[in-house]
Amino acid sequence: MTEMNDQIDRKLLEALVCPLTRGPLKYDRAKGELISEGASLAFPIRDGIPIMLVDEARKLSD
């Protein structure tokens, strides 16, 4: 895995789910976040590591 701030391993993305809904996540490369549309949350990726804590997630505006 190279340049993890710009990309996330596809296999890792397939394995990760939203901790609230257990639904799929979408990778937002521009913002460096994993998006849970079901929970309306954006989970940050810091130093190539997805932070899957609800307390660390950003609420998505409608």
Contact criterion met (CB below 8 Å) for 51 and 60: no
The CATH architecture that domain 10-59 belongs to is: Single Sheet (2.20)
For 10-59, the pLDDT digits (tens) are: 888 889 999 999 999 999 999 999 999 999 999 999 988 999 999 999 99
Sketch the domain layout of the chain as residue ranges.
Answer: 10-59
Q: pTM for this one?
A: 0.83
Contacts of 40 (CB under 8 A, 6+ apart): 59, 60, 62
